[in-house]
């Protein structure tokens, strides 16, 4: 049964939430009185459809249904999750909660995207305060996994757990904040860096581009995969965190930051920063900058996925829920996925090595289907590829949805031969083929041997089925 989410407020953040739910198979209802809301969300959806599927090695669920509603009551009717992303004015949020609680299910989660308000402030005057809590995302919501979950003492343990379970099912990381505090956790870090950056620009020490370069070429990369404290633990060397603290602790008394001393936001400072920012990236449209950002995030997060660390570990865990169960068919659809940006060459085409990767992945799915799965391999038996012939028929580009159709053309004894056809999912265009010959081996002796009976029987049955074509 399709689940339903309601998005109240269709700006950048609301649009990102809509995309995250929609691309994970939920129906999404949007309410936003802005006459441009449908256009804006459609543009965000375009970027999300390009980006999110490239994180995974399997296809995402069938996309849910997106609809726009003229009344808040229509939008929230039957919704299991309601995400409020209206402007950061408490009186506006209170008015929205009053209206939607008149019409929504008492069991629905009402999450707020607020960057700064505490949940107890949001819950003031609510009919059911237990239903409302902070679920603060980071832009782009359809790619970045962190959601700060901030409850108050009005929220029950069961409701908090339900909230976290739904977020996790969407591939997100719910970080429960232990105590209410203005701006939660992450935005307090961002505000500290922002204040310092304003002073550096105002005092003529650095331009906006130079500050961005200091982050992206230096500590920003470290933070992306290791965070703050683990980074400093490494900086302490073999002696660890205590040594780091002893070595750099005195710096806390040095004039290295103007953390709470904020420069006045004069017209001159605003013009200075805006001008430098225009010089830095004004030649690119906002949509082009978003696409650049998304492609970079995809490449970095996929690299982390390959290593099984940080955000990459989260993607791997969510990806397991996307792995399809293969069916005996002629042919077997052994792989559905989207071509990621890190699989392309300087021409923007999928490079030759990645065709081999795709067909190898398809073969592993076939192996698992016939019984030569992870447990079988752990028991010391597997199939090894000894010969492949790949034919490249058409160009393939990043963001294209593709399928691999596989037939077992030989399956006697130790032999397993697969013929793979790579097709564009949108129109069935044949893009490449691979004839792959494998032999069954003992991992202990590294020599060929007969497969277990259940594997041999399954391979023989599929080979007989596929010979019909």
What is the model's pLDDT at position 431? 98
**In this structure, what are the phi and psi dihedrals at residue 112, rounded to the nearest 5 degrees?**
-110, 135
Looking up tokens 């012939």, which residue turns up?
Answer: 389
CA end-to-end distance (rounded Å), the chain: 36
109, 159 contact by CB (below 8 A): yes
Query: What confidence tens digit (pLDDT) does each residue in 228-280 have?
Result: 898 888 888 888 888 888 887 787 778 888 887 888 888 999 899 899 999 99
Q: For the chain, give the secondary structure using H, E and C.
A: CCCEEEEECCCHHHHHHHHHHHCCCCEEEEECCCCCHHHHHHHHHHHHHHHHHHHCCCCCCCCCCEEEECCHHHHHCCCCEEEECCCCCHHHHHHHHHHHHCCCCCCCEEEECCCCCCHHHHCCCCCCHHHEEEEECCCCCCCCCEEEEECCCCCCHHHHHHHHHHHHHCCCEEEECCCCCCCCCHHHHHHHHHHHHHHHHHCCCCCHHHHHHHHHHHHHHHHHHHCCHHHHHHHCHHHHHHHHHHHHHHHHHCCCCCCCCCCCCCHHHHHHHHHHHHHHHCCCCHHHHHHHHHHHHHHHHHHHHHHCCHHHHHHHHHHHCCCCCCCCCCCEEEEEEECCHHHECCCCEECHHHHHHHHHHHHHHHHHHHCCCHHHHHCCEEEEEEEEEEEECCCCECCCEEEEEEEEEECCCCEEEEEEEEEECCCCCEEEEEEEEEEEEECCCCEECCCCHHHHHHHHHHHHHHCCC
Please state, in angstroms and rounded to a whole number, the distance separating the CA atoms of residues 49 and 399: 8
Query: What confidence tens digit (pLDDT) does each residue in 340-384 have?
Result: 999 999 888 999 999 999 999 999 999 999 999 999 999 999 999
Crossing angle of the two packed helices 267-281 and 186-202, in degrees rounded to 10: 100
**In this structure, what are the phi and psi dihedrals at residue 28, rounded to the nearest 5 degrees?**
-125, 130
What is the model's pLDDT at position 318? 97
User: Is the whole model's pTM more than 0.75, yes or no?
Assistant: yes
What is the model's pLDDT at position 469? 61
Between the alpha carbon of residue 351 and those of residues 130, 299, 398, the distances in Å are 52, 15, 10
What is the model's pLDDT at position 348? 86
Crossing angle of the two packed helices 352-370 and 453-466, in degrees rounded to 10: 120
What is the model's pLDDT at position 254? 80
85, 14 contact by CB (below 8 A): yes
Query: Which stretches in the chain have pLDDT values below 50?
Result: none
390, 351 contact by CB (below 8 A): no
What is the model's pLDDT at position 196? 94
Task: Find how far residue 202's CA is from the centre of its chain.
Answer: 36
């Amino acid at each position: 049964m399709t689940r339903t989410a309601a998005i109240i407020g269709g700006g950048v953040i609301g649009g990102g939430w809509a995309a995250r739910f929609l691309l994970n198979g939920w129906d999404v209802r949007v309410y936003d009185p802005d006459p441009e809301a449908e256009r804006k969300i459609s543009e965000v959806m375009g970027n999300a459809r390009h980006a999110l599927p490239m994180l995974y090695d399997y296809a995402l669920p069938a996309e849910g249904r997106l609809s726009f509603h003229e009344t808040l009551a229509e939008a929230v009717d039957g919704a299991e999750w309601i995400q409020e992303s209206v402007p950061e004015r408490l009186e506006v949020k209170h008015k929205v909660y009053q209206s939607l609680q008149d019409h929504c299910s008492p069991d629905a989660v009402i999450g707020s995207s607020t960057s700064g308000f505490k949940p107890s402030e949001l819950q003031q005057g609510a009919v059911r305060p237990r239903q409302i809590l902070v679920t603060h995302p980071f832009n782009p919501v359809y790619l970045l996994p962190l959601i700060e979950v901030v409850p108050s003492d009005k929220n029950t343990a069961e409701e908090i757990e339900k909230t976290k379970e739904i977020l996790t099912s969407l591939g997100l990381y719910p970080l429960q904040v232990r105590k209410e505090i203005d701006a939660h956790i992450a935005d307090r870090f961002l505000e500290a860096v922002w204040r310092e950056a304003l002073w550096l620009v105002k005092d003529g020490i650095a331009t906006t581009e130079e500050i961005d370069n200091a982050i992206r070429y230096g500590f920003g990369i470290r933070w992306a995969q290791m965070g703050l404290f683990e980074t400093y633990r490494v900086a302490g060397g073999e002696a660890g965190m205590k040594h780091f603290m002893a070595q750099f602790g005195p710096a806390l008394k040095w004039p290295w930051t103007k953390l709470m001393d904020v420069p006045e936001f004069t017209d001159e400072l605003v013009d200075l920063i805006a001008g430098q920012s225009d010089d830095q990236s004004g030649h690119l449209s906002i949509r082009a900058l978003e696409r650049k950002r998304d492609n970079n995030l995809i490449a970095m997060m996929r690299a982390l996925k390959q290593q099984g660390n940080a955000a990459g570990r989260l993607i791997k865990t969510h990806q397991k829920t996307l792995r399809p169960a293969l069916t005996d068919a002629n042919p077997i659809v052994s792989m559905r996925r989207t071509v990621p940006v890190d699989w392309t060459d300087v021409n923007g085409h999928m490079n030759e090595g990645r065709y081999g990767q795709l067909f190898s992945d398809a073969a592993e799915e076939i192996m698992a289907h016939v019984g030569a799965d992870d447990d079988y391999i752990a028991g010391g038996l597997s199939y090894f590829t000894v010969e492949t012939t790949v034919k490249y028929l058409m160009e393939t580009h990043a963001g294209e949805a593709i399928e691999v159709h596989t037939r077992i053309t030989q399956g006697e004894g130790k032999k397993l031969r697969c013929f793979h056809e790579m097709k564009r999912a949108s129109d069935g265009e044949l893009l490449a083929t691979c004839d792959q010959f494998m032999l069954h081996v003992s991992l202990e002796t590294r020599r060929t041997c007969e497969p277990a009976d259940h594997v041999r029987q399954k391979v023989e049955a599929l080979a007989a089925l596929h010979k019909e074509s």
